[in-house]
């Protein structure tokens, strides 16, 4: 049985010379991302991207643009997101694309788009690049959720432009990329006003939008662009002229029927057992970080390896939905990773090192949020140390071979430099009932822990005798693959994020769970559902029972 790509295959990697929908330009400390979405540029036939509506292809470009501004244009301190289309900022996710997509694609599309929105907020909070939304026209649905990810929002006051979240009244679904959460949690809009806003299909405009906290200001059309740019330059100041950008080279893995091979990562596909094996290889040696770390370039192991891991996770989501269990493996010298982590921690205030750490954090969060089961397999050749130990800590189970050569390694990065969506380190999440234990483990770094101490340390699910290893892993794999994928997704999402709730956990826990459910209900996607009938001269037929 061959691994089959989900149809149609999604091109997950892009670059500015291949953008079809965005225009990106910089002028000193200020950058612009302009939405110029091509109507005929959808990922597949059957829908037209009118009114700056978007599909996954557009969001892949946006994610790439945000990433490249951080690494390739670190001198930028303010980013203006606006539209190249007169009178319209964005009408949001293309409804006909959603209506014609499979359930799984819709859910993965919303998840990816949420992660992109969070990367914008992460750039504002962590990279010194403040995002400002310049709504020079109507911003509806996802077209308003994108601005909600920005630090400030400005709306043109032309008596017709409005902000709106019309999904409930129009489509029978929810704003899928954090709109509900950001309106009340981030912008702190009063609950009753938020209730009115989210059921008012035409949205809210002008001074009322400012009064309710939906935007930060309005400017007349004659001075709109100038006022927003002035605000961006005020926030940017002199920018970051001391930073030297680093070009991001293509990932371009070798793809065959049964494997995807990168420089430091290999994803092996085993469709007959509905599993995949994902191996990350450690650097041969840490090497010294030079005075200017940016001279290490995009090939530096922590950046390159985690970019490859990120790409592999996205391929698992979009290309191989039938593979439900991922066996995580690592290979290499644990000491090399511990040495590298020590240098990363020591140089974390340098912009390039900080960006690399932030990217590692986002990639590990992507793993946390991926609807696959993850089992980590710790063997004598493994290198689950420091930043790679995070892979094991992110796994649903950790199986370790009882062998004197087996080690797990702790570094300074395990103490909170790579937090989960709940804001806690994976150690702290693991030992939620024993915070002192998590603190003690983190404080003991750097060190390696031998197999004989791993069970007592609470770092493995099972320490397995070598004679039983093959049978135990086989039985665990077969058992997991036999369970309902839907039930496992719900179970894992509930178990992975213990502890405090944050905006992120609300988006991926509450919102994603509800949207997942609603996308399967007849009121939305049935033959007479609101999403199915959108754009037709017919009214939806709703089941009025509330469940």
- Model confidence pLDDT, tens digit, residues 256-301: 999 999 999 999 999 999 999 999 999 998 888 999 999 999 999 9
CATH number of 16-236: 3.90.226.10
In 10 A of CB 151, how many CB atoms? 19
What's domain 254-490's architecture?
Alpha-Beta Complex (3.90)
Q: How far, in Å, CA of 247 to CA of 349, rounded?
A: 20
- Residue 6: its pLDDT value, please? 44
**Residue range 154-193, pLDDT digits in tens:** 999 999 999 999 999 999 999 999 999 999 999 999 999 9
The whole-chain average pLDDT of the chain stands at 95
How is 68-105 classified by DSSP, letter by letter?
Answer: HHHHH-TT--EEEEEESSTEEEE--B-HHHHHHS-HHH
The helix (H) or strand (E) run that includes residue 426 is helix 426-430
Per residue in 194-244, pLDDT (tens digit) is 999 999 999 999 999 999 999 999 999 999 999 999 999 999 999 999 999
Fold agreement between 16-236 and 254-490 = yes
* CA torsion through residues 361, 362, 364, 368, sign: positive
Give the chain's length.
547
**How many percent of the chain have pLDDT more than 90?**
92
Task: Say how many C-beta atoms besides its own lie within 10 A of residue 72's C-beta.
Answer: 16
Residue-wise pLDDT tens digits, 346-374: 999 999 999 999 999 999 999 999 999 99
Q: What is the DSSP string of 156-222?
A: E-SSS-EEE--HHHHHSS--SSSHHHIIIIIS---HHHHHHHHT-TT-EEHHHHHHTTSSSEEE-TT
pLDDT per position as a tens digit, 485-508: 999 999 999 999 899 999 999 999
CA angle 301, 306, 286 (to 5 degrees): 25
Q: Where are the domains of the chain?
A: 16-236, 254-490
């Amino acid at each position: 049985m061959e691994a089959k790509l989900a149809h149609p295959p999604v091109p997950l990697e892009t670059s500015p010379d291949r953008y079809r929908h965005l225009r990106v330009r910089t002028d000193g400390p200020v950058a612009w991302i302009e939405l110029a979405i091509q109507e005929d540029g959808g990922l597949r036939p059957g829908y037209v991207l009118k009114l700056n509506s978007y599909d996954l292809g557009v969001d892949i470009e946006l994610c790439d643009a945000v990433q490249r501004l951080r690494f390739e244009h670190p001198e930028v301190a303010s980013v203006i997101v606006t539209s190249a289309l007169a009178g319209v900022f964005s009408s949001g996710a293309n409804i006909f694309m959603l209506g014609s997509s499979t359930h799984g694609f819709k859910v993965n599309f919303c998840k990816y788009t949420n992660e992109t929105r969070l990367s914008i907020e992460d750039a504002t909070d962590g990279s010194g690049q403040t995002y400002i939304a310049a709504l020079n026209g109507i911003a509806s649905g996802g077209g308003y959720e994108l601005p909600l990810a920005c630090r400030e929002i400005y709306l043109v006051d032309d008596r017709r432009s409005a902000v709106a979240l019309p999904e409930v009244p129009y489509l029978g679904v929810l704003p899928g990329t954090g709109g509900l959460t950001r309106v009340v949690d981030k912008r702190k809009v009063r609950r009753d006003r938020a209730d009115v806003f989210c059921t008012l299909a035409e949205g809210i405009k002008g001074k009322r939008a400012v009064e309710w906290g939906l935007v930060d200001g309005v400017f007349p059309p004659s001075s709109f662009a100038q006022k927003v740019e002035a605000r961006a330059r005020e926030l940017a100041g002199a920018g970051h002229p001391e930073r030297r950008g680093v070009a991001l080279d293509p990932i371009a893995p070798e793809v065959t029927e049964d494997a995807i091979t990168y420089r430091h990562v290999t994803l092996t596909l085993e469709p007959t057992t509905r599993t995949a094996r994902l191996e990350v290889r450690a650097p041969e040696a840490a090497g010294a970080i030079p005075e200017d770390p940016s001279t290490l370039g995009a090939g530096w192991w922590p950046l390159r390896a985690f970019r490859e891991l990120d790409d592999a996770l996205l391929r698992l989501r979009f290309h191989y939905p039938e593979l439900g269990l991922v066996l995580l493996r690592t290979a290499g010298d644990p000491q090399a990773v511990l040495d590298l982590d020590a240098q990363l921690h020591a140089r974390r205030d340098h912009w390039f090192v900080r960006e690399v750490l932030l990217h590692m954090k986002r990639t590990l969060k992507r793993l946390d949020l991926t609807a696959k089961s993850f089992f980590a397999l710790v063997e004598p050749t493994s290198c689950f140390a420091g930043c790679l130990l995070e892979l094991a800590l992110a796994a649903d189970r950790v199986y370790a071979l009882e062998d004197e050569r087996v080690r797990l390694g702790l570094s300074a990065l395990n103490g909170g430099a790579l937090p989960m969506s709940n804001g806690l380190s994976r150690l702290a999440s693991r030992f939620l009932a024993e915070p002192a234990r998590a603190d003690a483990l983190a404080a003991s770094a750097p060190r390696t822990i031998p197999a004989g101490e791993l069970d007592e340390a609470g770092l493995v699910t099972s320490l397995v005798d070598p004679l039983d290893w093959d049978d135990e892993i086989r039985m665990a794999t077969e058992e997991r693959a036999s369970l309902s994928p839907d039930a496992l997704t719900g179970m894992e999402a509930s178990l992975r994020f213990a502890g405090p709730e944050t905006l992120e956990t609300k988006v991926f826990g509450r919102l994603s769970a509800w949207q997942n459910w609603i996308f399967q209900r007849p009121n939305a996607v049935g033959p007479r559902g609101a999403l199915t009938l959108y754009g037709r001269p017919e009214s939806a037929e709703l089941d009025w029972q509330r469940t």
